[in-house]
Homo-oligomer: A and B are copies of this chain.
């Protein structure tokens, strides 16, 4: 007899957590950790603040959970292909345009949370996997060896987000044509940077 009683509760708890993560994403992206207000998250999620502390522990930890959820999404939705870094940069550009919250959250994390040693879940392992696959592509001469794998990765990320870093909420104000032109420039920049030079292929 216990199942019909507990299942809805579990479902309620999961739904409330999801609403808190969503409201937290918006509040933290806009205001950061110091600037975020628990009462706004509470109101937006239609959930009592006691649940925030009971589910996540603290404001900082709610931020960490929000970061983890958003990092998991980008890792999941933007597949990495070392043999096609220009294409990867283009897809990452698209994701950042469609999800302007992500870069702001990552930036707040860097400014307010990185010196605590906290790292978004799965990020370090994902970066290691990526630089290792870049190294293999370099060994196979499918990528330039003019840079370390870490440089290739850092530069690809920097170019894909160059325009958004300048003003994270601006892309929404651009026409489709302007966005297309910026995307093409990013793809071409990563192509020039990562294509093996003539000396490397001869």
Residues of A near any B CB (own CB < 8 A): 31-32, 34-35, 104, 107-108, 110-112, 114-115, 146-148, 151, 154-155, 157-159, 161-163, 165-169, 181-182, 185, 188-189, 192-193
Contact = CB atoms under 8 A, between A and B. Distances in A.
A104 B114 CA distance: 13
B110 A111 contact: no
Given A107-B107, A158-B162, A162-B158, A147 B185 contact: yes
A165 B158 contact: yes
Contacts of A155: 159, 162, 185, 189
Contacts of A193: 189, 192-193
Contact of A158 (B31, B151, B159, B181): B159
Contacts of A35: 32, 34-35, 112
Contacts of A158: 158-159, 161-162, 165
A162 to B, nearest CB: 4
A112 B151 contact: no
A116 to B, nearest CB: 12
B168 A110 contact: yes
Contact of A147 (B104, B115, B148, B188): B188
Given A32-B34, A34-B35, 9 more contacts: A107-B111, A108-B111, A147-B188, A148-B185, A151-B185, A154-B163, A155-B159, A155-B162, A158-B159
A144 to B, nearest CB: 8
A108 B31 CA distance: 11
A146 B192 CA distance: 10
Contacts of A165: 110, 158, 165
Contacts of A182: 151
A165 to B, nearest CB: 7
Nearest to A146: B188
